[in-house]
């Protein structure tokens, strides 16, 4: 079961594309947008994260830190980040495989991948917005922007 608005977000520490550990606890005091996605280099995921890249100022200007998470290994994420020019961290939930996606309720154990889960966390680490889309169902990001604007207000 996925998290709901008002829930405390589960803590995690994961390596990014450069194998530098990013801990949610270290970001306390800063709103965070967590974007879980199935696979690097896939068509829908690339479209979603390229839109996020192109509209990143919407989030960063509001003081929101953006983190994208998948079950891909760090070297794959590094290659994808370099190819697409992403300016936000890509976190690897590779091992134990999908453990963080599981704690957020967005892991498809039959396919071994995260589903399209989006969580906006407030500065205290509580879920302010959540959206979960199934495989093949691209996300409309206007809801994320509305939630960021409400959080910033």
Return the active site residues: 45
User: Which three-class secondary structure state does DSSP give residue 92?
Assistant: strand
| Coil, strand or helix at 63 | coil
Find where tokens 């697409």 sit.
84
Tell me the sheet residues that pair with 32.
65, 121
Write the burial class of residue 59 (CB in 10 Å: 0-12 exposed, 13-18 middle, 19+ buried): buried
Among 111, 146, 151, 153, CA closest to 131? 146
Whose tokens are 């509001």? That residue is: 62
The rounded distance, in Å, linking the Cα atoms of 94 and 15 is 9
């Amino acid at each position: 079961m996925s998290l709901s608005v008002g829930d405390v977000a589960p803590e995690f520490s994961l390596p990014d594309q450069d194998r530098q550990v990013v801990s949610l606890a270290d970001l306390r005091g800063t709103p965070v947008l967590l974007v879980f996605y199935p696979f690097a280099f896939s068509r829908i995921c690339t479209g979603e994260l390229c839109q996020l890249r192109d509209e990143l100022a919407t989030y960063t200007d509001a003081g929101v830190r953006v983190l994208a998470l998948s079950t891909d290994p760090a070297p794959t994420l590094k290659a994808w980040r370099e190819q697409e020019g992403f300016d936000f961290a890509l976190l690897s939930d590779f091992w134990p495989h999908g453990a963080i996606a599981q704690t957020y309720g967005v892991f498809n154990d039959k396919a071994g991948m995260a589903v399209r889960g989006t969580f906006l966390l407030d500065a205290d680490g509580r879920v302010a917005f959540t959206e979960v889309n199934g495989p093949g169902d691209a996300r409309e990001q206007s809801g994320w922007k509305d939630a960021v604007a409400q959080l910033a207000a």
